[in-house]
Structure 1
Amino acid sequence: RFAGLFAGRKVELLDQLLDLLEELLRRGDDQRIRTLVDADRHLLGFCGRVTPRTASASAEHSYELFRRRLTAAPCAADHPVLELFLDDPGDLAGLCDVDRNVLEKRAAETEELQGKKPKLYDDYREIIDRKDVDVIIIGTPDHWHCMPMVEACQAGKDVYVEKPIANSIEECNIMVEAARKYERVVQVGQWQRSDPHWQDAVDFVRSGKLGKIRTVKAWIYVGWKGELPVMADEAAPEGVDYDFWLGPATKRPFNIYRFHWHFRWFWDYAGGLMTDWGVHLLDYALYGMNQYVPNSVMSSGGKFAYPSDARETPDTQYAVYDFNDFGLLWESSIGIAGGNYGRGHGVAFLGNNGTLVVNRAGWEVIPEVIGGEKMMEEVPLIKRNPEAGSGLDHHVHNFLDCMKTREKPKADVEIGAHIARFA
């Protein structure tokens, strides 16, 4: 049996999460793969049958997955997750959600898709206790990452946990300790570590062609998001186990803007843009330079654009990391679309000969021009090649391969913990 639990969220890369689950079901080995993902709004469990297809003398097995298609849901009602898994028919065995309304809706969609209704759960721990699963995927709000991951490791499961790995430094430390103590493979959802065009950009940075790199920039400008109005507390919607959603966080009355997707703007559950996007982009800034521990850090910012709105986290923030021979600059802003180099997000490596700029669309090199002479050859924009597969595709492949080899994956728990502390 191939079982899972996926708590969908409306995230900035919903399609990337879909790719993750598609690939997880597409590829299997002799370990029954299972997914956990809870406390946001949607805990979606899925299970498909697997049967051995070939076996070698080295006991390596490949399996045919009969389950590839299901319907899932993000945490915002206006963004349902579309059909994820393609090709083969199969069984979605269970769904678990803290919102019974969403649970029933998704179960009905799944029944229509596969011809029968999956088993429904109210508590993810019932899925953890199942003996027929070996992998957990955690896609909850940040404050719910630590406990399920530790429980999964204790139960002998390998884990894919979304970024940021945790909501505090202490949680990071606990999660690293658990992964190592129980000798589990843990992949953190910083999928750019597996994305071919990001790796190509880093290879160019490390080639030395840019000359001495003295400045690195990373930024995210979220122009589509504006003010978050202040809303009065109210009773939790019928069918929502809000106490379970809060979990280890401070107990508070229900508020629609502290719930589901908007949780990321409140310190109890997340860290705003710095931890939402910063762990992706700052990680690649460090990875490109192959330096990870700054000598000093300073940051400033605040609620400059919307001082009276409901958010707690900054709508504008800057940070400077000093590495002795280069500096790393972070910028984030809500309500402004124009970022550096005409890009809403990205990482730039500024060298004496030229600047490499990379984001999720591709990468290019802009040469320095001194006295009318280009200091290096220009590299026009090299767009991400869709046919090469998404970074998330490769990230899942890497995770599943490492489950078999027991090697550390590309975004190992230590990498995820370090950048979460860094951000």
Structure 2
Amino acid sequence: MNRKNFFKASAILAASTALYNPIIASTFVQRKIRVGLIGVNGMGWANLNDLLKVENVVCTALCDVDSNVLNRRKSELEKRNINVKIYDDHRKLLSDDIVDVVIIATPDHWHCIQFVDAVKAGKHVYIEKPIGNSIRECEVMVSAAAKSNSIVQVGQWQRSQQHFKDAMDFVHSGKLGKIRLAKAWSYVGWKDPIIKVADAPVPAGVNYDKWLGPAQKRNFNPNRFHFEFRWFWDYAGGLMTDWGVHLLDFALIGMKAKFPKSIVASGGVFADPNTAAETPDTLTAMYEFDDFNIQWEHALGIASGPYNRDHGVAFIGNNGTLVVNRGGWEVIPDGKKMEAVSFQKSVDNGLERHMQNFVQAILKKDKSLVATPIEAGSHVAIVSQMGNIAYRTGQKIYWDQTTKRFKDEASNKYLAAAYHNGYSIPQV
């Protein structure tokens, strides 16, 4: 072989090798990362669109039990010259070899089953928060991920925002002095109470039995469907697990905290006693650690929370308080004990950066690169569930991390979500 032919053959070999090695592919020819979306409404659709902004990512499949939304999303993608296959059963999508990555953005009570099915099918997974609807589900999901080669990113995208990282660096610097209390809160002023309505026929195009899945069999009611599912214990945990996993996550990061020794919570349905919702619209939960507390509070129908912010995390130290939310962070000194830090505004798009981070981890086949690994998603989801359990038992409860159980049986009955309709918690 002469010199010219040698280099020509080498180039062909390198290009063909690139098809199987995503790191090499970044230099030569990179195969598209093919994404399937399970749960195409709301946040699932937002996740998909930001993932599609990343180079060499394409959508190949959609899955939903509501054919009305499913066909609308398919049509919207076709207008962008994106043609996809559609399914009403996540297992069929997972068995299709046109999908490398799945986004799971279904109601919380479906997360565990679909996640375990996905990693067993060898797919990489972007899983919406909270990862599970019970403490036991979270533990099963972590175990399933550990036994797979799947790259998993949890949808706590604030971890990819630079200003949150900067704020945590400041908290860890010690400049605030001894921090005795971290507060996290969410005040959702735009959400009115749910007015009770009668049960209704299942809408045309909706496979309601599949929507219920492992949840208790009930007549269809519009209050429990689509966005509103989160206010009912069968499917989710209300604001405690919806916003709590975002904000308590940073309270835990800032305090370098694991699991609390005890939890007490108080609240109720105070905004409108006639609401159809089951989860509390007003709640305060206190988590006790060795030498500090973390407090959570939320309120539906009220816009102004602590520090005149509708959401945030505050680290209250002897020298001053750092307050951070999605808009930015600042430090408020306690008298003259330290210098103030003026408001540091957020300058990036957290969800976009989260998706870029996810793809980078996939291309490099490195689980350690993801901003929110499954273990982190499990940690804060469990802590959030603890707040709900304390509220539902109406007593101060104590956690034993060695046994991963509470010290009273009234609380332990909430460790695992009940499965119905022939479903059972996945075995891994």
TM-score of the aligned structures, taking structure 1 as reference length:
0.78
> Match of 2:410?
none
User: Residue 392 of structure 1: CA displacement?
Assistant: 2.0
Evaluate the alpha carbon distance shift between residue 342 and residue 394 of structure 1 in structure 2; reply closer, same or farther with a 3 A threshold.
Answer: same
**Which structure has the highest helix share of the two?**
2
Letter in 2 for 1:249: A
- What CA distance in whole angstroms lies between the structure 2 residues aligned with 1:286 and 1:81? 25
1:299-326 Cα deviation digits (max 9, x unpaired): 1111111111100000000011111211
Q: 1:193 aligns with which of 134, 140, 159?
A: 159
Distance 2:62 2:16 in 1: 26
Residue segments in structure 1 that go unaligned for 5+ positions in a row:
1-50
Query: Once the 2 structures are TM-superposed, how far is the Cα of residue 64 of structure 1 from its aligned partner?
Result: 7.1
Output one character per residue of 1:370-399: Cα deviation in whole Å (capped at 9) or x when no partner.
xxxx2111111010013xxx2222322332
Q: Contact 2:47/2:351 (CA < 8 Å) preserved in 1?
A: no
How much does 1:97 deviate?
2.4
Partner deviation per Cα, 1:179-233 (whole Å, 9 max, x = no partner): 1122432221111222110010000000011111111100000111111100100
Please name the residue that 1:125 is paired with.
Answer: 91
2:144 is aligned with 1:178: yes
d(CA) in 1 for partners of 2:164, 2:77: 36
| Separation (CA, whole Å) in 2 of partners of 1:407 and 1:87 | 19
- Work out the CA distance in 2 between the residues paired with 1:293 and 1:73: 34
Cα deviations across residues 137-180 of structure 1 (Å, max 9, x unaligned)?
Answer: 11111111111110111111221111000001111111111111
**Could you say which residue in structure 2 is the equivalent of 1:97?**
64
CA distance change for structure 1 residues 324 and 253 in 2, over 3 Å: closer, same or farther? Answer: same
CA distance in 1, matches of 2:54, 2:240: 38
Q: Aligned to 1:231, what secondary structure does the other structure show?
A: coil
3-state SS, counterpart of residue 113 of structure 1: coil
Name the % identity: 53
Matching of residues 202-351 of structure 1 within 5 Å: 202-351=168-317
Q: Deviations over 1:67-95 (max 9, x none)?
A: 99x9x96359xx99997646999975433
1:53–1:64: 8 Å Cα contact kept in structure 2? Answer: no
| 3-state SS of paired residue (2:367) | coil
1:383: which partner in 2?
345
Residue 210 of structure 1 aligns to a residue in which SS? coil
**Structure 1 residues 51-62: aligned runs within 5 Å:** 60-62=24-26
TM-score normalised by structure 2 residue count = 0.78
Flag structure 2 segments of 5+ consecutive residues without an equivalent. Answer: 1-14, 385-428
Change (3 A) 1:80 1:147: closer
Q: Secondary structure at the match of 2:312?
A: strand
Cα distance in 1 for residues equivalent to 2:74 and 2:332? 51
Output one character per residue of 1:315-370: Cα deviation in whole Å (capped at 9) or x when no partner.
Answer: 0000111112111111100111110001000000011111000000000000111x
Question: What is residue 399 of structure 1 aligned with on the other side?
Answer: 358
Q: 1:416 aligns with which of 377, 381, 384?
A: 377
Answer whether contact 2:40 2:63 (CA < 8 A) is retained.
no
**In 1, are the aligned partners of 2:40 and 2:105 still within 8 Å (CA)?**
no
Of the three residues 107, 124, 132, the one matched with 1:141 is: 107
Cα separation, 2, equivalents of 1:58 and 1:167: 35
Equivalent-residue separation in structure 1 for 2:127 and 2:340 (angstroms): 39
Q: Given the superposition, is the C-alpha separation of residues 273 and 286 from structure 1 closer, same or farther in structure 2, using an over 3 Å criterion?
A: same
Amino acid paired to 2:355: V
The amino acid that maps onto 1:152 is A
**Aligned mates of 1:293, 1:352 — CA distance in 2:** 24
Moved more, 152-161 or 196-205: 152-161
Contact 1:192/1:198, CA 8 A, preserved across alignment: yes
Aligned match for 1:112, one of 79, 83, 98: 79
Given that 1:320 and 1:329 are in contact with CA atoms closer than 8 Å, whether structure 2 keeps it comes out as yes
Q: Give the whole-Å Cα distance in 2 for the aligned partners of 1:152 and 1:66.
A: 16
Q: Residue type of the partner of 1:419?
A: V
Q: Which secondary structure does the structure 2 equivalent of 1:338 belong to?
A: coil
Give the conservation status (yes or no) of the 8 Å contact 1:218–1:330: yes
Q: 1:237 to 1:178 in 2, by over 3 A?
A: same
Equivalent position amino acid for 2:367 in 1:
E
Question: What SS does the aligned partner of 2:133 have?
Answer: coil
SS at match of 1:145: helix
Q: Is residue 153–residue 179 contact of structure 1 (8 Å, CA) maintained in 2?
A: yes
Distance 1:325 1:117, change over 3 A: closer
CA distance in 2, matches of 1:398, 1:90: 13
CA gap 1:396/1:153 in 2 versus in 1, 3 angstroms: same
**Is the contact between residue 209 and residue 353 of structure 1 (CA under 8 Å) also seen in structure 2?**
yes
1:353 aligned to which of 308, 316, 319:
319
CA RMSD in angstroms, aligned pairs only = 2.9
CA distance in 2, matches of 1:82, 1:410: 18
Query: Structure 1 pair 184/89, CA: closer, same or farther in 2 (3 Å)?
Result: closer
What is the alpha-carbon distance in structure 2 between the residues aligned to residue 186 and residue 66 of structure 1? Answer: 15
Is the contact between residue 97 and residue 122 of structure 1 (CA under 8 Å) also seen in structure 2?
yes
